[in-house]
């Protein structure tokens, strides 16, 4: 079977952080390396990047905190939102509950309460049972709702859906936190901008993703409600998320925002996921679980095809019980990568399915 396989694609479809660094980001890192600068964000690159993010989200007094990474940024954002006696409500597939080794629970001290999702999304009705916890001293007090935009299942909340969650959250004195590791992909998918999706809907704290969009490392926390930001800088430092040479995170932010590169990267990744879904969806034996909204393709295929394909071009299983896998595109994926990958899928799956 292996003989029939074409050469593997250059890009990895395992995840959108398998790609390297966007060339413009690398250039910006090199440019920021010109001589000394004060550490811990007291440098001109950090001031410029913080201003640019404030402007982008349209909240002039937003607190902007550069952090080392996504888990750390979520920890910082949530630690501003809740106390140890409170609860964070999120879906059971949320990165903060499944993929961060319990960091948000440990660092905030709060209880992370997973609720059932609908296609990866949190729906207001799912919050209802937990709202009865409020005011009952035996229960952790729901203090925040956390959603991922885009979701871990590659779905995207509409502006109205985010606004509806913000309304419920605020009506119950809760904070709405958004894990925006893929906020750029979500924005281009929904054809809207950050202000509309985040500020106008009532989001209180946003983790603004950079790494999956072409950065080497680093994410930013945007705190849109000044009263939540009072302890922000201390919380970030205590959580180990204040980068010493912060200018190098900041330079990446500026490079990605310049000329809306961050959106162009996401647009490319999303479009290539559509191409991939079309190509692999045409292979008998492969079923694309749902049309891609962002840069991930979820598909089921014969179980016997998975290991040989992984050996050829590695990717992660998604739900082994259902023989479901996830393939992801990124800013550096090319059309050729997609076509080669799909050809490999066909070469492995076709003999298993037969004519
Ligand atoms: C939804 C989501 N949130 C956050 C992260 C960031 O995690 P990390 O700590 O690996 O940067 C990821 C990365 O996979 C993610 O998919």
Averaged pLDDT in 10-residue chunks for the chain of 355 residues: 78 97 98 97 98 98 98 98 98 98 98 97 97 97 98 98 98 98 98 98 98 98 97 98 98 98 98 98 97 98 97 96 97 98 97 85
> Can you give the pLDDT at residue 55?
98
The residue whose CA has the least distance to atom 15 of ligand 1 is 181
68 three-state secondary structure: coil
Q: CA-CA distance, 252 to 250, in Å (whole number)?
A: 5
> Can you give the pLDDT at residue 2?
47
C-beta 120 within 6 A of ligand 1: no
CB 97 within 8 A of CB 71: no
Q: Identify which of 181, 211, 295 to mutate to test ligand 1's pocket (most ligand atoms within 8 A of the CB).
A: 181
Among 341, 340, 354, 266, smallest CA distance to 304 is for: 354
C-beta 179 within 6 A of ligand 1: yes
The counts of H helices and E strands in the chain are: 14, 11
Q: CA-CA distance, 54 to 50, in Å (whole number)?
A: 6
> Can you give the pLDDT at residue 4?
75
C-beta 71 within 6 A of ligand 1: yes
Among 207, 122, 184, 117, smallest CA distance to 157 is for: 122
Q: CA-CA distance, 311 to 336, in Å (whole number)?
A: 19
Among 291, 293, 292, smallest CA distance to 187 is for: 293
CA 178 to chain centre: 9
> Can you give the pLDDT at residue 96?
98
Q: In the chain, what are the domains?
A: 2-20+261-353 (3.90.1150.10), 23-259 (3.40.640.10)
- Find the helix packing angle between 261-281 and 183-190, rounded to 10°: 70
Q: CA-CA distance, 55 to 251, in Å (whole number)?
A: 16
C-beta 95 within 6 A of ligand 1: yes
146 three-state secondary structure: strand
C-beta 70 within 6 A of ligand 1: yes
> Can you give the pLDDT at residue 1?
46
Query: Can you read off the two tokens belonging to residue 255?
Result: 């490079």
> Can you give the pLDDT at residue 281?
98
Q: CA-CA distance, 52 to 253, in Å (whole number)?
A: 9
Q: Identify which of 71, 154, 210 to mutate to test ligand 1's pocket (most ligand atoms within 8 A of the CB).
A: 71
> Can you give the pLDDT at residue 354?
74
Q: CA-CA distance, 313 to 310, in Å (whole number)?
A: 5
C-beta 216 within 6 A of ligand 1: no
Among 307, 244, 329, smallest CA distance to 9 is for: 329
CB 176 within 8 A of CB 157: no
Question: 61, exposed or middle or buried, with CB in 10 Å at 0-12, 13-18, 19+?
Answer: exposed
First-to-last C-alpha distance (Å) of the chain: 16
Between the CA of 347 and the centroid of ligand 1 the distance, in Å, is 32
Q: CA-CA distance, 76 to 57, in Å (whole number)?
A: 19
C-beta 69 within 6 A of ligand 1: yes
């Amino acid at each position: 079977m292996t003989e029939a396989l074409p050469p593997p694609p250059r890009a990895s479809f395992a995840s959108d952080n398998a790609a390297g660094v966007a060339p413009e980001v690398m250039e910006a890192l090199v440019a920021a390396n010109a001589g000394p600068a004060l550490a811990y964000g007291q440098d001109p690159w950090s001031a410029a990047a913080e201003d640019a993010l404030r402007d982008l989200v349209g909240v002039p007094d937003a607190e902007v905190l550069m952090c080392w990474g996504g888990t750390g940024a979520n920890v910082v954002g949530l630690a501003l939102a809740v106390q140890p006696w409170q609860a964070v409500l999120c879906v059971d597939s949320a990165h903060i509950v499944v993929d961060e080794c319990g960091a948000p629970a440990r660092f905030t001290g709060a209880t992370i309460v997973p609720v059932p999702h609908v296609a990866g999304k949190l729906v207001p009705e799912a919050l209802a049972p937990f709202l009865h916890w409020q005011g009952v001293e035996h229960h952790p007090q729901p203090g925040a709702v956390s959603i991922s935009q885009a979701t871990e299942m590659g779905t995207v909340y509409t502006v109205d859906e985010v606004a509806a969650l913000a309304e419920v959250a605020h009506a119950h004195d809760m904070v709405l936190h958004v894990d925006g590791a893929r906020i750029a992909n979500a924005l281009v998918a929904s054809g809207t901008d950050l202000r509309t999706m985040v500020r106008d809907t009532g989001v209180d704290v946003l983790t603004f993703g950079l790494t999956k969009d072409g950065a080497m490392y680093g994410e930013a926390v945007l705190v849109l409600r000044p009263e939540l930001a009072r302890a922000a800088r201390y919380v970030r430092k205590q959580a180990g998320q204040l980068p010493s040479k912060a200018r190098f995170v900041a330079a990446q932010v500026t490079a990605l925002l310049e000329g809306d590169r961050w959106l162009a990267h996401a647009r490319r990744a999303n479009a290539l996921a559509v191409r991939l879904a079309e190509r692999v969806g045409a292979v008998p034996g492969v079923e694309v679980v749902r049309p891609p909204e962002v840069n991930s393709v979820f598909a089921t295929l014969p179980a016997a095809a998975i290991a040989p394909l992984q050996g050829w071009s590695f990717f992660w299983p998604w739900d082994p019980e259902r023989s479901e896998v996830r393939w992801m595109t990124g800013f550096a994926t090319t059309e050729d990568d997609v076509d080669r990958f799909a050809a490999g899928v066909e070469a492995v799956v076709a003999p298993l399915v037969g004519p």
